[in-house]
Structure 1
């Protein structure tokens, strides 16, 4: 039962959700025992998420790429049916960088069509607040600041 709407279907036309009947046959005893153990550990306060966070093998920074490759997960996948959205049909021209370049080109063409020139005018000057104004004290000089002649030989002769 697909919960996704088709392109021509409206939300009011959707059928109400009904829990389906149990599948035929018996539950696999190994799977039932595994589920019961997990439910018991959850009741005891054991968190699967905490276990994963503390596991040394999950601290690998490349784990996401490895898991995606191992389980063959499509990073651009979707739950929508292909009739609504198919990520494989996106062309390179539909990517953000190409769309942005085409938008800029269009804006330039629009600006050239009108032949208007943009004139920039000064908005005036602002007075700086006292805290940003230069201080009245001259900056301190260090021993590396030159205090006279730039010629070291002239300094030596003066001594």
Structure 2
């Protein structure tokens, strides 16, 4: 194990109670599940979920970097590539 992996730890348990709003939300979801409602199925059946531009809307709404990574920049930095490293430049012979 390297030093970086050894530093990863599970955070301590929360010391206080969760907010009443959050507790109510989870209680409602569990009650719906007991009644036979499946939240995933409900989402999949929604008309707006089948929207072909849903992906683009999610990327825009949540400011997602489509070319990003979960790795630290020391392990892999997708922004470190130069323009001539990309396929389009190679095809054009600009290397």
Could you say which TM-score interval applies, normalised by the shorter chain? 0.7 to 0.9
Q: What's the Cα RMSD here?
A: 3.0
Give the structure 1 partner of residue 80 of structure 2: 89
Stretch of structure 1 that moved more, 40-49 or 62-71 = 40-49
- Higher share in helix: 2
Structure with larger RCO (C-alpha < 8 A, sep 6+): 1
Q: CA shift at 1:54, angstroms?
A: 0.9
Indicate how the Cα distance of structure 1 residues 67 and 14 shifts in structure 2: closer, same or farther if over 3 A, else same: closer
Aligned residue pairs: how many? 94
With the length of structure 2 as denominator, give the TM-score of the two structures: 0.73
Superposition deviation, residue 98 in structure 1: 4.2
SS at match of 1:23: coil
Structure 2 unaligned residues grouped into runs of 5+? none
TM-score, normalised relative to structure 1 = 0.47
Please tell me whether Structure 1 or Structure 2 has the larger radius of gyration of its CA atoms. 1
State the Cα distance separating 1:93 from its structure 2 match.
2.1
Shift of 1:56: 1.4
Give the 3 Å change call, closer, same or farther, for CA 84–72 of structure 1 in structure 2: same
For 2:33 and 2:79, the matched residues in 1 are separated by 40
Query: Which residues of structure 1 form unaligned runs of 5+?
Result: 103-159
Determine the structure 1 residue equivalent to 2:66.
Answer: 75
